[in-house]
Amino acid sequence: MLTTLTLVDDGTAVIQCIRWIADEVVLPSQDLREFQEVKITGLPQDYKGSRQVKFVLKNTSICDDPNDLSLFKLRVLMLERFVYSKPVVLPASIIREEQKREREEKEKKEKEKEKEKEKEREKEKEREKEREKEEKRKKSQPPVSEDTLLGRIRTWISTRDEFAFIELFRDEETQRIACEIVRAKHKKPRLNVVVENDKVTNLVAGCLYRLRKQGVIAYKNKAIGCEEDFSECDDESKIRVVRDVVELVDSSGESSAPDTDSEDEE
């Protein structure tokens, strides 16, 4: 913003200007020239900031104020090349305008904060609804047990001819049921990741061992090993699904197939 200052050449070296009061004026050169721009920093009371001003040299003793705003004088000490201000009171109209602007800014900020709080409250309500929905879902479902996990695994393998242990272990639903069983046993909502993973692995392996005893599954390659613990098989070790036994177990709930342990030993 450029404000015109009029230099009055009346022997007193007084500059009359309009609007802001300056605490300091930085002169770019030794001499004041016509249309030379200088920077005035500091404003009266709470009106701090800076303004660019332009000196207009005139050979008159009167300064007309076209904006009818606060008049004040800057005295130029030509020898010291320093300008300082003579404080005046800002007109009430300017003060009211500034106060109004500050109020509007404050109200705007408060409204923005309130909107943010409202958004956060809405998000919290949504999270609460999700929690309630999850609680209802859990309550509506029967408590999980090893039989629940066994049923899930039987369903999972019923669509396969063969699989690796790691494929079953990574099944999300199998993981969820196994984790719930482990946490329920320890009466904790969450366990150490390593401990929980180990216990879930053993639980799933135990269910596979039961299915093997029922003749539902068998090792595809006996040379690989893993005689008792399926979890010890490497990722490439395939477990064969005995299709006719799976169908019998699914229909009757019990396996009528002979024990395959003797077959494995042969």
In the predicted structure, residue 140 carries a pLDDT above the cut 50: yes
46 and 151 in a single domain? The answer is: no
In a domain, 242, yes or no: yes
Please, which pLDDT band fits residue 153 given cuts at 50, 70 and 90?
very high
Distances (CA, A) of 177 to 152, 201, 203: 8, 12, 10
168 and 251 in a single domain? The answer is: yes
Which pLDDT score, from 0 to 100, does residue 123 have?
92
Check residues 259 and 170 and name the one with the higher pLDDT. 170
168 and 61 in a single domain? The answer is: no
243 and 164 in a single domain? The answer is: yes
In a domain, 7, yes or no: yes
Query: 214: domain CATH number?
Result: 1.10.10.2260
In a domain, 120, yes or no: no
Mean pLDDT of 77-102: 53
254 and 166 in a single domain? The answer is: yes
Check residues 90 and 118 and name the one with the higher pLDDT. 118
Alpha carbon distance 95, 105 (integer Å): 15
Phi, psi of 180 (to 5 degrees): -60, -40
In a domain, 58, yes or no: yes
250 and 153 in a single domain? The answer is: yes
Summarize pLDDT for 9-25 with one digit per residue, the tens.
334 433 433 333 344 44
- Smallest CA-to-CA distance from 148 within 123, 185, 170, 176 is with 176
- Which residue among 51, 68, 85 closes a domain? 85
170 and 261 in a single domain? The answer is: yes
In a domain, 194, yes or no: yes
- Which residue among 40, 59, 85 closes a domain? 85
Summarize pLDDT for 155-196 with one digit per residue, the tens.
998 888 888 888 888 899 999 999 989 888 887 777 788 888
> Residue 180 is part of which domain span?
146-265
151 and 260 in a single domain? The answer is: yes
In the predicted structure, residue 208 carries a pLDDT above the cut 80: yes
159 and 254 in a single domain? The answer is: yes
- Which residue among 43, 58, 85 closes a domain? 85
Mean pLDDT of 189-215: 87
In a domain, 238, yes or no: yes
Q: Which of 39-43, 149-153, 236-240, 243-247 is least confident?
A: 39-43
Check residues 162 and 50 and name the one with the higher pLDDT. 162
151 and 81 in a single domain? The answer is: no
Which pLDDT score, from 0 to 100, does residue 50 have?
36
- Smallest CA-to-CA distance from 78 within 12, 20, 34 is with 12
**Residue 116, burial from CB neighbour count under 10 angstroms (0-12, 13-18, 19+):** exposed
In a domain, 230, yes or no: yes
In a domain, 254, yes or no: yes
261 and 150 in a single domain? The answer is: yes
Considering its fold, how many domains does the chain have in total? 2
